[in-house]
């Protein structure tokens, strides 16, 4: 590993939320079925580590019969899968919270769907032979540092565990290509985890270690950060953020867009849900009634679904509030208000895009 990589000018299509470390947001109004790599949001906690494919290895250890050290070529020789998978940062939408939240103020663009190619994590775990009684699989990245608030126990790597059952699922894989090309340094070159259905923090970039444990893992990045208050019989416990919550977002009209009165307008967006599919998207333009939008294309598990709605814009000029809300196969619909137990994560309440009819 050599010195940290910096972000190039090819990132000019993204909104800078933080320069160093790089935190860049996708302008959601540019929504397309698959997000181009140079428009895909970037979320980093530490400087981007520079790793060459030739020096990279993946160590698989802990509760396994056979410890493995795989090279990049070893990984590329294993059977691969290619699939579109959505990544959404657990803090996406934080800018909508009132009062103003701490942390990176993502608007609606800390989300994207790319086509990833890689090796199912299950294949690697099966090769190593998971011992009986194993419960968690820790994914560790090469990047590290010290966090002030909340305070980390000294220098920590970015890492995150999955329960063994999730780790063995086909939507969890070790990706080395994004949209048909080698990963870029900011998206985890040479190899990252992709954990379909879960918020982005589980999709560990610059992956170097996979460790199987016999006891539940309680690392910093899932017990203090990326954790929410779960209440069971009155007692709140900080619990790791996992599954993506159902959500619809509007790409067009954009905030404050001037919409011509007395004509039809195509409201357009995307909707998704973690380990479930979107069955319905509804749109409201009057703050009272909801009408069903058209779901476009086919439903693809773990990817987003585009939708559109024809709004017959009234003649009367002035401010209008356009809202969208989604429902998934499990029957979950977006709430009207953010639940403060979720802290500043898992933000999926339906909010309005204010536009000007002219
Ligand atoms: N090693 C490492 N992996 C990481 C992170 C990180 O800071 N370091 N950030 C996580 C978070 S919070 C998110 S939302 C996703 C974002 O992936 P992207 O930058 O490719 O969009 O990466 C995850 N994986
Ligand atoms: Mo994130």
State whether 109 and 207 are in the same domain: yes
State whether 233 and 96 are in the same domain: yes
Ligand 1 near 41 CB (within 6 A)? yes
Domain C-terminal end among 240, 268, 300: 240
First-residue to last-residue Cα distance in the chain: 56
State whether 236 and 251 are in the same domain: no
The mean pLDDT of the chain is 95
CB of 333 closer than 8 Å to CB of 350: no
CB of 241 closer than 8 Å to CB of 346: yes
Q: Does residue 190 have a cis peptide bond before it, meaning omega lies within 30 degrees of 0?
A: yes
Ligand 2: distance of its center to the CA of 111 in Å? Answer: 9
pLDDT reported for residue 240: 97
Domain C-terminal end among 194, 217, 240: 240
Domain CATH code at residue 285: 2.60.40.650
Ligand 2: distance of its center to the CA of 206 in Å? Answer: 15
pLDDT reported for residue 13: 83
State whether 48 and 185 are in the same domain: yes
Domain of 24? 8-240
State whether 107 and 131 are in the same domain: yes
Is the model's pTM score more than 0.75?
Answer: yes
State whether 213 and 259 are in the same domain: no
For residue 234, what pLDDT band results from cuts at 50, 70 and 90?
Answer: confident
Whether 231 shows a pLDDT value over 80: the answer reads yes
Q: Which two tokens stand for residue 277?
A: 């599919």
State whether 43 and 160 are in the same domain: yes
Ligand 1 near 89 CB (within 6 A)? yes
Alpha carbon distance 253, 273 (integer Å): 22
State whether 232 and 273 are in the same domain: no
Pocket test residue of 205, 207, 210 for ligand 1, highest count of atoms within 8 A of CB: 205
pLDDT reported for residue 103: 87
Ligand 1 near 87 CB (within 6 A)? yes
State whether 210 and 332 are in the same domain: no
Whether 3 shows a pLDDT value over 50: the answer reads no
pLDDT reported for residue 1: 41
Whether 75 shows a pLDDT value over 50: the answer reads yes
> Over pLDDT 70: what percentage of the chain?
97
Domain C-terminal end among 240, 266, 292: 240
Alpha carbon distance 260, 283 (integer Å): 18
State whether 215 and 273 are in the same domain: no
Alpha carbon distance 311, 320 (integer Å): 12
Alpha carbon distance 58, 17 (integer Å): 31
């Amino acid at each position: 590993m050599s010195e940290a990589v910096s972000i190039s000018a090819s990132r000019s299509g993204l909104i800078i939320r933080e320069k160093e470390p790089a935190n860049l947001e996708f302008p959601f109004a540019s929504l397309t079925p698959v997000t181009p790599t140079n428009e895909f949001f970037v979320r980093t906690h530490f400087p981007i580590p520079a790793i060459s494919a030739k020096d990279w290895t993946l160590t698989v250890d802990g509760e396994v019969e056979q410890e493995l050290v795989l090279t990049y070529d070893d990984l590329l020789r294993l059977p691969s899968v290619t699939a579109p998978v959505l990544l959404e940062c657990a803090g996406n939408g934080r800018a909508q919270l009132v009062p103003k939240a701490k942390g990176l103020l993502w608007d609606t663009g800390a989300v994207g769907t790319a086509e990833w190619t890689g090796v199912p994590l299950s294949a690697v775990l099966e090769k190593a032979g998971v011992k009986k009684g194993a419960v968690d699989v820790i994914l560790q990245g090469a990047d590290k540092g010290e966090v002030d608030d909340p305070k980390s126990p000294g220098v920590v790597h970015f890492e995150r565990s999955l329960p063994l059952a999730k780790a063995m699922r086909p939507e969890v894989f070790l990706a080395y290509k994004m949209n048909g090309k080698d990963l870029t340094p900011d998206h985890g070159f040479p190899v990252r985890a992709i954990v379909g259905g879960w918020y982005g923090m589980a999709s560990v970039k610059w992956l170097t270690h996979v460790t199987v444990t016999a006891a539940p893992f309680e690392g910093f990045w899932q017990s203090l950060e990326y954790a929410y208050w779960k209440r069971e019989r009155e007692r709140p416990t900080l619990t790791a953020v996992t599954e993506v919550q159902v959500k619809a977002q509007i790409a067009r009209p954009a905030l404050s867009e001037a919409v011509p009165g007395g004509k039809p307008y195509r409201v357009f967006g995307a909707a998704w849900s973690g380990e479930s599919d979107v069955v319905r998207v509804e749109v409201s333009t009057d703050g009272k009634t909801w009408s069903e939008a058209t779901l476009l294309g086919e439903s693809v598990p773990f990817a987003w679904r585009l939708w559109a709605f024809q709004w017959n814009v009234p003649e009367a000029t002035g401010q209008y509030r356009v809202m969208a809300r989604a429902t998934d196969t499990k029957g979950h619909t977006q709430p009207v208000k953010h639940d403060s137990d979720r802290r500043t994560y898992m933000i999926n309440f339906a909010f309005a895009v204010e536009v000007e009819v002219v």
